[in-house]
C-alpha cells in the first residue's frame, strides 16, 4: 500500500496567516490526491481533488499543488472557521490511504 506522510502533524497560526501543509507519497501517484477538512464531531469535507481542483463551493483561499510524490495544501489567509484538522488522501490506487492529519490550532 502507498504510504502518505503528512507534515506537520499540528501547527498554531493566527487569523490572516498563510498556512502550508505538505503530503509526500511513498511512490508516484500522478496528481491523484485530495484534501479534506474535518471539524470535531463532523464528517470530513472535500476541499481539493486531483491535487489542485477546488471542490464546488469551497472558498478560493484554499489551494493545492503538486504531482508525483510531493504535494502542498495552502490556506492563503486563515479564517476563524478554518481551524480544523486537514487530511490528504491518495486515490491513485487501492487501497486508498490517508495522511496522518494536520491539526490547525489558534495561536
Footprint of another protein (CB under 8 A): 1, 32, 34, 36, 38, 43-46, 49, 55-56, 87, 89, 91-101
Beta bridge partners, 68, equal none
Q: Which is nearer to another protein, 83 or 98 (CB)?
A: 98
Q: How far is the CB of 95 from another protein (least distance, A)?
A: 5
**CB 25, CB 6: distance < 8 Å:** no
Main-chain phi, psi angles of 51, to 5 degrees: 70, -35
**CB 79, CB 61: distance < 8 Å:** yes
The secondary structure element, H or E, covering residue 33 is strand 33-38
Angle at 105 between CA 83 and CA 52, to 5 degrees: 50
Q: How far is the CB of 44 from another protein (least distance, A)?
A: 6
Q: Which is nearer to another protein, 17 or 58 (CB)?
A: 58
Q: Which is nearer to another protein, 53 or 77 (CB)?
A: 53
Q: How far is the CB of 93 from another protein (least distance, A)?
A: 5
Q: How far is the CB of 61 from another protein (least distance, A)?
A: 18
Amino acid at each position: 500500500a502507498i504510504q502518505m506522510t503528512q507534515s506537520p502533524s499540528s501547527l498554531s497560526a493566527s487569523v490572516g496567516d498563510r498556512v502550508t501543509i505538505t503530503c509526500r507519497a511513498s511512490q508516484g501517484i500522478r496528481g491523484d490526491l485530495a484534501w479534506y477538512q474535518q471539524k470535531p464531531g463532523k464528517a470530513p469535507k472535500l476541499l481539493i481533488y486531483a491535487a489542485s481542483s477546488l471542490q464546488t463551493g469551497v472558498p478560493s483561499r484554499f489551494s493545492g499543488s503538486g504531482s508525483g510524490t510531493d504535494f502542498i495544501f495552502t490556506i492563503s489567509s486563515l479564517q476563524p472557521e478554518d481551524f480544523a484538522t486537514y487530511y490528504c488522501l491518495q486515490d491513485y490506487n487501492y487501497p486508498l490511504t490517508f495522511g496522518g492529519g494536520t491539526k490547525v490550532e489558534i495561536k
